[in-house]
């Protein structure tokens, strides 16, 4: 523990740079747009998602978690996951016009918090498959509690099914897929000027 | 250039002239209040009031208002069906081996109507609010930091250009893609993923350039003036007071007449459980 002051650079104290903030926004914009493009491409999907949406949402939930672990793995600072996820929900509600309304900000904050906890426990230094998987699991699990309260899932016969599907989606789409995307991004070199690039170059 | 990625805005209306931060806060307050409602009457009354208010003050053409209902009416119907079929309670009737319960139906109708209340208010909010004005107002009235504000505005600009960017990337990929026997390039999940990743990389790079150019102009170094400040006036406070008063009245009427029910309804198991 005593090595903390030498191991952790002063950057945790300084406010976020504009570059980091814009990166978080960009992630929210890109994933918000891709979802929109997906719905445009398969109009049937959006119509189907209506009646089936109540159950189908659990399969797709992991996709909403992506922004937080990607942002945390690139910027490697506290609160990045929460801020990135909330910014993504702002884009969704304000600029893309989601009818879920501003309650989405709360859900997003919880998702971001859940996704970020595993990275925080490893002090933003460990980014292996296990941490990402746990990140997806916690992100999906934490927001499940809130959604269950919102939609009164407690007392439903489908409760366990909902939970299992959502957690699995969180691990696969919101955890492991995030790791794949982060590695691919790092390989292209576009994130070399962020913390992830500094750490990579430092190791090499 | 934008291929309709944004919802249409009708900002020249009584609701459109109100302060965006106030509207957003009110929408949030109504959403939170509805979290504690599980009877069908309260959201039904609120939906009618909300629809009337939005129709009267937002000047959204009726056809657009109706079309905007489609996504959340579908979602509401889903909530209704799932709850009616999957909740234990007093059985009402059997549908294909699945029992519909009275409790399930009540909760289902309530949740379906709740998504419609929030949906119609969200339409009113989004259609009457300009995105840039909202961010400016959040900066002025909700103490949102200047760098955060400008980061979101930069993202907004990017979002507007994204359909064109996406089309460019798709075309570029398809030009080089191997053709299938009927002479068209294959399009599937893989090619979608490839284009999506290209879009991500291009956007991250562009975002970094944007941040650098904003910073090189000294953004966030000192106090700033605001271009086109958003007014916050007496009418906005009247709006807030009115909305909260109506909400409180509906809740109070629910208590007085005995139709309001909260979470305890979820666990009130009927005889046939």
Q: Reply yes or no on whether the pLDDT at A36 is more than 80.
A: no
Q: Which of residues 110-139 of A touch B (CB under 8 A)?
A: none
Q: Are A26 and B153 in contact (CB under 8 A)?
A: no
- Domain span holding position A193: 17-197
Residue whose C-alpha is closest to residue A109's, from A126, A89, A130? A89
Beta-ladder partners of B212? none
What does the pLDDT look like over A96-135, one tens digit per residue?
Answer: 888 788 899 999 999 999 999 999 999 999 999 999 999 9
The better pLDDT of the pair B227, B269 is held by B227
Distance CA A148, CA A132 (A): 24
Q: Give the dihedral sign, CA A188/A191/A197/A200.
A: negative
Residue A204 inside a domain? The answer is: no
Q: Is B203 on the interface with A (CB under 8 A)?
A: yes
C-alpha pair distances (Å), B126 with each of A94, A103, B46, B130: 7, 14, 19, 8
Q: Using CA atoms, how far apart are residues B16 and B127, in angstroms rounded to an integer? A: 8
Residue B189's SS3 state is helix
Tell me which residue in B27, B73, B204 faces A101 most closely, judged by beta carbons: B27
Please report which helix (H) or strand (E) contains residue B73, including its range.
Answer: helix B70-86
Given a contact cutoff of 8 angstroms between Cβ atoms, the answer to whether B16 and B244 are in contact is no
In this prediction the ipTM stands at 0.88
Kindly state the helix (H) or strand (E) to which residue B91 belongs, with its residue range: strand B91-95
Residue A11 lies in a domain: no
The answer to whether B84 touches B42, Cβ cutoff 8 Å, is no
Domains identified in chain A, total number: 1
Q: For the segment A168-201, what is each residue's pLDDT rounded down to a tens digit? A: 999 999 999 999 999 999 999 999 999 999 888 7
In the 8-state DSSP scheme, what is residue A12? G
Examine residue A73 and state whether it is found in any structural domain, yes or no: yes
* Closest residue in A to B211 (Cα–Cα): A19
Q: Are the Cβ atoms of B215 and A19 closer than 8 angstroms?
A: yes
Provide the number of CB pairs (under 8 Å) joining chain A to chain B: 190
B95, containing H or E segment: strand B91-95
Rounded Cα distance, B205 and A124, in Å: 23
Contact assessment for residue B196 and residue A181, using Cβ atoms and an 8 Å cutoff: no
> In this structure, is residue A202 part of a structural domain?
no
Domain ranges of chain B: 20-134+231-267
Is-above-0.90 flag for pTM? no
Q: So what's the pLDDT on residue A15?
A: 83
Mean pLDDT: which of B103-112, B202-211, B217-226 is highest?
B202-211
**Greatest C-alpha distance within chain B:** 71
Cβ–Cβ gap A152/B150 under 8 Å: no
The answer, for A95 touching chain B at a CB cutoff of 8 Å, is yes
Q: Do A150 and B82 touch (CB under 8 A)?
A: no
- Which tokens belong to B253? 């009427």
Cα nearest neighbour of A57 on chain B? B75
Strand partners, B91: B101
Chain B CB contacts of A187 below 8 Å: none
């Amino acid at each position: 523990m005593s090595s903390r002051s030498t191991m952790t650079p002063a950057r945790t104290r300084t406010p976020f740079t504009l570059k980091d903030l814009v990166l978080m926004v960009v992630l929210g914009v890109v994933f918000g747009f891709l979802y929109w493009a997906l719905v445009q491409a398969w109009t049937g999907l959006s119509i189907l998602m209506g009646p089936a949406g109540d159950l189908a949402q659990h399969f797709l939930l992991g996709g909403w978690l992506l922004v937080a672990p990607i942002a945390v793995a690139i910027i490697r600072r506290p609160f990045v996951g929460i801020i990135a996820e909330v910014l993504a929900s702002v884009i969704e509600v304000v600029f893309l016009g989601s009818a879920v309304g501003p309650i989405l900000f709360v859900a997003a904050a919880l998702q971001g918090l859940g996704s970020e906890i595993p990275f925080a426990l490893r002090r933003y230094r460990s980014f292996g498959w296990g941490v990402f998987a746990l990140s997806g699991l916690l992100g999906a699990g934490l927001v499940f509690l809130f959604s269950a309260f919102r939609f009164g899932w407690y007392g439903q016969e489908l409760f366990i099914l909902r939970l299992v599907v959502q957690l699995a989606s969180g691990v696969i789409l919101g955890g492991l897929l995030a790791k794949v995307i982060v590695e691919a991004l790092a390989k292209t070199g576009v994130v070399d000027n962020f913390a992830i690039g500094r750490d990579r170059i430092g190791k090499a | 250039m934008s291929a309709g990625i944004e919802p249409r805005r009708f900002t020249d209306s009584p609701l459109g002239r109100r302060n965006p931060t106030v509207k957003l806060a009110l929408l949030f307050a109504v959403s939170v209040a509805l979290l504690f409602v599980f009877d069908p009457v309260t959201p039904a009354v609120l939906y009618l009031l909300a629809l009337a208010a939005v129709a009267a003050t937002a000047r959204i053409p009726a056809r657009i208002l109706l079309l905007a209902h489609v996504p959340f009416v579908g979602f509401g119907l889903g909530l209704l069906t799932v709850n009616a079929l999957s909740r234990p309670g007093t059985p009402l009737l059997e549908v294909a081996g699945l029992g519909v319960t009275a409790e399930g139906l009540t909760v289902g109708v309530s949740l379906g109507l709740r998504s419609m209340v929030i949906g119609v208010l969200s339409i009113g909010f989004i259609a009457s609010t300009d995105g840039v004005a909202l961010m400016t107002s959040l900066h002025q009235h909700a103490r949102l930091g200047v760098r955060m504000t400008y980061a979101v505005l930069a993202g907004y600009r990017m979002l507007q250009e994204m359909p064109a960017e996406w089309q460019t990337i798709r075309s570029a990929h398809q030009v080089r893609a191997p053709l299938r026997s009927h002479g068209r390039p294959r399009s599937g999940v893989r090619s979608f993923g490839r284009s999506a990743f290209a879009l991500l990389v291009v956007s991250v790079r562009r975002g970094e350039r944007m941040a650098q150019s904003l910073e090189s102009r000294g953004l966030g170094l000192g106090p700033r003036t605001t271009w086109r400040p958003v007014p916050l006036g007496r009418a906005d406070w009247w709006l807030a007071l009115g909305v909260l008063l109506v909400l409180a009245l509906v809740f109070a009427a629910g208590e007085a007449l005995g139709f309001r029910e909260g979470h305890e309804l979820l666990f009130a198991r009927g005889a046939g459980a």
